[in-house]
Amino acid sequence: MEEQIDSIFVPSIGHWLYGKKPEHIARFCTDTRSLYLDDCYVALVDMRDGHIFLEDARTNGASCAIVSRPSPAIDLPQFVCEDSNVAMVEMAKLARSTFRGTMIAITGSFGKTTTKDILKLLFGIEKNVTLENKNGQRGVPMTLATVTNDEAFAVIEVGIDAICTMDKLVELVVPHIAILTGIGKIHMSGMGSESTIAREKSKLLRGAIKNNGHGIFPEECLRFSACRKIQGLCRIIKEGGEDMGYHMTMEGGQYHVTMRFKEKDLKFVMPHLMSQGIVKNFVLACICALECGVDAANIQKRINLWKPSKWRGEIIATPARTYFADCYNANAIAFANSLAHFDRLFPHGNRLFVIGALIRCEVGNGVIGDNAALFKNLPLRENDRVIIVGESANFSMDAVNRNWKVLPSASQAMETVTNFHGIVYLKGHRVYKLESLIC
């Protein structure tokens, strides 16, 4: 174990205070509130000084910390460097340079985390994978720094919210295979347009091609020139197509997928709780796994173990209510998939929809029209009730022409939810914290 520590924390990056090292490191974390046992706490200095939480890190189970300003009075091994952010990047570069397995990276406007979780199952890996959705400029280095050759594959989720961010992340990840799940309106304040999003995210595909690998993306991405320019070097997944194509049917309450791969027809049965959108994520992940040598029998066996991750289509039952909690991603495509899936799973009974309105910084200046379209297309039945959370909903409620409740925050919906008996649909951007209504 000491050998592993020494391979990550090399002297050229920093030194251990008083030479005291941890016995084990699970992962890296920048928030003491979400520490796992034996995580290394990274004390960053940005909007807040992370060094003031060193004692919290120790109390919450951290095995050590990376610091730029040591605190000898705190009984916690501390790796001292000039800048914690820079140190993480350097450790990530070192770990990536020594990784001999297949590096797979995933990007897109939706479905990244789900596709990553599916690939984790299909490859049978535990360590070399992005934790939760820590996929940005901080999360990617923290994942890469712990990649080891104990597993033959690594699956890294890569998220961006601004132009040129992808360039540095591609240089860190150096993918062999890159998956683009799809393009939609998200992070528009930093990206400007969907075509810009496609251009920036396709850089990950180009990184794989440059590394003598290839990209994988669905046919609908070809509406963007950035994807058309590299289509000859990528695997294009077509619904109803021939090679690399698939057909999806609903049988007995479950999706069945027939896929054409290298002149063979392969058939898979999806878990009951998979939505149509997640089945499409499975197809992308499945093509990747097949390309990497995982056989169809193992793919079926492993996908049977899939279940929704926390607050991403998760079903939570309490004595008074059943919650369908989908409280993270919130763009038009994610909403359409989630609503259709909910309506399939719960077509009857008392239903309460609590929906976070789309927000301008995510979907752009068309937020009024986007919200109006969203609210009009809700799959409502006669006795369904609706609460819209978020001030942006007020701009478009006239177009909806319904007598629904519109509330500024989720907390103001608590009384209605606690007095309701039936099925509660929760969907909205994470800023609304709709999961706080689960009780």
Q: Is the pLDDT of residue 179 over 90?
A: yes
- pLDDT tens, residue by residue, 381-424: 999 999 999 876 665 565 555 668 889 899 999 999 999 999 99
Mean local confidence (pLDDT), 60-84: 97
Long-range contacts of residues 31-37, Cβ cutoff 8 Å, at least 24 apart: 32/56, 32/57, 32/60, 32/62, 33/60, 35/60, 35/61, 35/62, 36/61, 37/61
Residue 23 CB neighbours (<10 A): 11
Buried b (16+ CB within 10 A) or exposed e, 292-331: bebebeebeebbeebebeebbbbeeeeeebbbbbbbbbbb
Question: What confidence score (pLDDT) does residue 392 get?
Answer: 66
- In single-letter form, the type of residue at position 270 comes to M
- For residue range 94-146, what is the model confidence (pLDDT) as tens digits? 999 999 999 999 999 999 999 999 999 999 999 999 988 889 999 999 999 99
pLDDT of residue 61: 96
Cα-only R_g, the chain: 23
Q: For the chain, give every domain's residue range.
A: 2-83, 99-303, 312-437
CATH number of 312-437: 3.90.190.20
Q: 99-303 and 312-437 share one CATH topology?
A: no
Report pLDDT for 330.
Answer: 84
The domain made up of 2-83 has a fold known as 3.40.1390
- The percent of residues in the chain predicted with pLDDT above 90, rounded, is 81
Bridging pattern class, strands 385-389 and 351-356: parallel
Three-class SS state of 294: coil
CB contact at 8 A, 127 and 150 = yes
Longest dimension (CA), the chain: 69
Q: What's the pLDDT at 3?
A: 65
Taking Cα atoms as reference points, which of 218, 221, 270 lies closest to residue 245?
Answer: 218
Beta-bridge partners for 104? 155, 177
- The fold of 99-303 is UDP-N-acetylmuramoyl-L-alanine:D-glutamate ligase (3.40.1190)
pLDDT above 80: residue 80: yes
pLDDT at 393: 67
pLDDT of amino acid 1: 47
What's this model's pTM, rounded to 2 decimal places?
0.93
**Which has the minimum average pLDDT: 3-12, 75-84, 198-207?**
3-12
**Residue 70 predicted with pLDDT over 70:** yes
Tokens 């084990």 found at: 24
Mean pLDDT of the chain, nearest integer: 93
pLDDT at residue 242 is higher than 90? no
pLDDT at 345 over 80: yes
Beta pairing partners, 76? none
The predicted pLDDT at position 177 comes to 98
Share of the chain above pLDDT 70, in %: 97
Dist. CA 417–CA 414, nearest whole Å: 5
Q: Does pLDDT of 43 surpass 90?
A: yes
* pLDDT at 158 > cutoff 60: yes
| Residue 401 pLDDT | 56
